[in-house]
Structure 1
Amino acid sequence: MFTLIGKIVYLIIWIFLLFNLIMPYPKPANLVAYLALAMFVIIHGLQAWLLSSTLTRQEKQQDRFKIMRMFIFGVFEVLSWKKNDSNK
C-alpha cells in the first residue's frame, strides 16, 4: 500500500514538473520547477543507470520496462520488487 501511494505521488510530481515545460508557471515558481525537474532527472537517471549496469543481457530482455519504471518511480519501484520477492 505504501509503495502504491509513493508511486502515485511520484507520478503527480512528474506531471506537475513536466507541465511547466508546456505552460510555464509564473516567474519564481517556474525556476523552482526547472531546478526540481533537473534534479529528478539526474537522480532518477543515476538510479536507472546503476540498475542497468547490474542487469545481465538476459534480464534486460526478460523485462524491458524495468529500467523505465525505475527511472519514473525511483526507490518505490525497488521497494515493490522487495515486497513481491517476500510474497513468493
Structure 2
Amino acid sequence: MAKAKCNPQPNEFNKDTEFGRGEIKDNALKAVVTSQLFRTRVVKAKKGKGSFNRKMKHRGKEPYSKFSSKWILNRAFFLLRVKELFD
C-alpha cells in the first residue's frame, strides 16, 4: 500500500516567512512585495543565447573592454619618463 500523504493545516497565520522588515504593522502586502523575496534576479544562461564564457587567458583582450591595471601602470611610468626628459 502507498503511504498516505499528510498535509498539516496551520491553525494560525504562518509567520515562518522572513520578509526582512521586522514586525509588519501597517501594510502587509506592501511589506511582502518590497521584501527580498520579490527582488528581481539576473540569471546567467547555462545553455543557448547569452551563455558563452570566454576563457580566462583571453579575457580583457577586446578593444572595448576596460584597460588592465598593467597597461595603466606602464602608461604612468612612460609619462613620468617623458616628463623627466623635458624638465
Computing the radius of gyration over CA atoms, which structure comes out larger, 1 or 2?
2
Q: TM-score, normalised by structure 2?
A: 0.27
Q: Which has the higher helix share?
A: 1
Q: TM-score, normalised by structure 1?
A: 0.27
Bigger RCO of structures 1 and 2 (CA < 8 A, at least 6 apart): 1
